[in-house]
Amino acid sequence: MYEVPKIPQATAKRLPLYYRFLQNFSNAGKIRVSSRELSEAMKIDSATIRRDFSQFGAFGKKGYGYDVQELLQFFRSILDRDEATNVALIGVGSLGSAFLKYNFHRNHNTKIVLAFDTGSPHAGEKRSGIFSFHPDVLEEKLIEHSIELVILTVPAKAAQPLADRLAGTDIKGILNFTPVRLDVPDRIRIHTIDLSVELQTLIYFIHQQET
């Protein structure tokens, strides 16, 4: 197992972004890149980038910048795991369907491999190319497919009961698109994206700017 540096959550959130932008620079044939160039491309201030990179042990040389391939190698070692991460989606409504169609194409190591929906039969059916099963068979299918991560796109009232069942399985993370704050054991990491909250927050900020 490679050494994973302990880095703050705010920095960690930028890791996949750094990786993507460095890939872009690499694809464009760039050998080296300055924090200023990264800053302009990513809309993150350059002091933050330099601080982040120094936490990874990467230090730019004055008048040279960073070596693109060296940085890429580093980010690859952290983010691009050899084993794929198997993801299941629960709730094939309109948002769930969109995710099945999208299926995170940009990241070859991460894939929704199965889905669950109350409208699907126990034996499963294809939905946007992915097998979707009735939630009655949730636990056995999660084990069968070694699922580590679940994307939750169910109606709010179904969220906590499902989280309770997931707490009895070996999954390690839930990407929660319901507005419910889920109650699960500490070993399951939850990341909630509440689209309504995101929208309201943006509205709050644009009106604050008016004053």
> Applying CB under 8 A, does 106 fall inside the site for a copy of itself?
yes
Q: Which residues within the stretch 19-48 sit at the binding site for a copy of itself (CB under 8 A)?
A: 20, 41-43
Q: Is 158 in the site for a copy of itself (CB under 8 A)?
A: no
- Under the binding rule (CB under 8 A), the answer on residue 167 touching a copy of itself is no
User: Would you say 59 or 104 has its CB closer to a copy of itself?
Assistant: 104
Q: At residue 26, what is the residue type?
A: S
Is residue 207 a contact residue for a copy of itself (CB under 8 A)? Answer: yes
Q: Are 90 and 154 in contact (CB under 8 A)?
A: yes
Q: How far is the CB of 3 from a copy of itself (least distance, A)?
A: 9
Q: Which stretch binds a copy of itself (CB under 8 A): 62-70, 116-124, 145-153, 161-169?
A: 145-153
Question: CA 190, CA 180: separation in Å to the nearest integer?
Answer: 11
- Cα–Cα distance measured from residue 25 to residue 22, given in angstroms and rounded to the nearest whole number: 5
C-alpha 65/C-alpha 199 separation (Å) is 38
Answer whether 35's CB lies under 8 Å from 66's CB: yes
Q: Please give the DSSP secondary-structure letter assigned to residue 171.
A: -
63 has binding-site annotation: no
Side-chain half-sphere exposure of 22, counting CA atoms within 13 A: 24
**Binding to a copy of itself, residues 44-73 (CB under 8 A):** none
Range in contact with a copy of itself (rule: CB under 8 A) among 25-33, 64-72, 130-138, 177-185? 177-185
Q: What is the amino acid identity at position 110?
A: T
Residue 194 contacts a copy of itself per CB under 8 A: yes
Tokens found for residue 6: 């302990």
- Which tokens sit at 163? 């989280």
**Which residues bind to a copy of itself, rule: CB under 8 A?**
1, 4, 6, 9, 12-13, 15-17, 20, 41-43, 78-79, 81, 85, 87, 93-95, 97-99, 101-102, 104, 106-107, 110, 148-149, 151, 172-173, 175, 179, 181, 183, 187, 189-191, 193-209, 211
